[in-house]
Chain A
Amino acid sequence: MNRETAMTRQEAMAVLARSSLEKLRAAWDGWDSKPATELLRGPETGMIMIRGRTGGSGAPFNLGEASVTRATVRLGTGEVGFSCILGRDTEKARLAAIFDGLWQRDGDRGRIEQDLLLPLAERLAAADRTVRAQTAATQVNFFTMVRGDDE
């Protein structure tokens, strides 16, 4: 099986970062022929300084920090997987790094995308659509009333 890649690595990592621990754990528990994994760094929790831009598009400034957890894992087959995600969930960071490593294997990429990443991406997109629809319902529709008819 050598399906075409549906996502870039960045896209895959972005989906992994926003998925829930439960989804990742279920996917990993159900994964047959798990490769050995060796933690090279972390999972460790720290902070990223978040920057904004003056006026929205000008010079950068430091807005404030956010909790971040990251992990680096080497698979038994040699791939090195990374994760860096908002929050303090070390187990989620470890699993996200493992899946990033697995995604790099031609033999596993198609399966990870079809079984895990694309369904997750669709759920996230659906949640965004709901927010947009809820927000759209609060859009103001102006209509003009003619007053003080002097003609």
Chain B
Amino acid sequence: MSSLSYSGGFAEPVFAAQAAFRAVLDAFARPGNVISKPAETRPPEPFLGVTGDLLCTLADTDTPVFLAPLADEDSAAAAWLRFHTGAEVTRDASRAVFAVCTSLKALPALSQFPQGTAEYPDRSTTLILQVESLEGGETQVLLSGPGLAQERPFAPKGLAEPFWHEVARNNGQYPRGVDFLFVSASAIAGVPRSTKIQLQGA
């Protein structure tokens, strides 16, 4: 294991994790709202710093993490994750408590992830999707539902219509389904399963 994997964690774990947790709460409470989040961690490729922050805040030994594209156990990303969070990197999407997607092409169908059960809807995956930017994308969706007084436009870069159709299908099974955190180099936004997705022009 390279010595790189040991560095780049939170310098002040308690305060940094609290700040990141607050950002996640705000992101899910106000879907589609772009929340500025400076990166504290310095994880290896392909993770962004903010992704590292979220993982160091949310992941632990009880939460297998799925990486898309798949990563080997001895990859730098897996080693970094294991050292700083204790989380195991799984190649089995059906065991994922968190999934980090750094390339949309590599993302399995959302239905492959745990969707929660009627008794325990919380037993589903939270997806962390890295995007180039949370604004200015070609495809814009309108979000509505809990946490939104009126419809809010949302257009992260690099997410095309087929993806949003899948998200809409996922959110249609509320209270079951996965939740989404979109991450850029300096901000996050959330789309929980309770949000209604409307494609522009559809």
Contact = CB atoms under 8 A, between A and B. Distances in A.
Is A in direct contact with B (CB under 8 Å) within the complex?
yes
Interface of A: 40-41, 72, 74, 78, 80
Contacts of A80: 3, 6
8 contacts: A40-B6, A40-B9, A41-B83, A41-B84, A72-B83, A74-B3, A80-B3, A80-B6
A72 B6 CA distance: 8
Q: Is the interface of A mostly helix, strand, loop or mixed?
A: strand
B117 interface: no
Mostly helix, strand, loop or mixed at chain B's interface? helix
Contacts of B9: 40-41
When A and B form their complex, which 6 residue pairs have the shortest distance between CB atoms, in order from nearest?
A40-B6, A80-B6, A80-B3, A72-B6, A40-B7, A41-B9
Nearest to A38: B7
User: Of residues A40, A78, A80, which shows the largest number of chain B Cβ atoms within 10 Å of its Cβ?
Assistant: A40
A30 B104 CA distance: 56
Contacts of A41: 6, 9, 83-84
Contacts of B7: 40
Contacts of A78: 3
Among the interface residues B3, B6, B84, which one has the most CB atoms of the partner chain A within 10 A? B6
B88 to A, nearest CB: 15
Contacts of A72: 6, 83
A41 B10 CA distance: 9
Nearest to A48: B61
Interface in B44-90: 83-84
Contacts of B3: 74, 78, 80
Nearest to B86: A46
Given A40-B6, A78-B3, 12 more contacts: A40-B7, A40-B9, A41-B6, A41-B9, A41-B83, A41-B84, A72-B6, A72-B83, A74-B3, A74-B6, A80-B3, A80-B6
B8 to A, nearest CB: 9
A81 B9 CA distance: 17
Interface string B123-164: 000000000000000000000000000000000000000000
A29 B70 CA distance: 47
Interface in B101-136: none
Contacts of A74: 3, 6
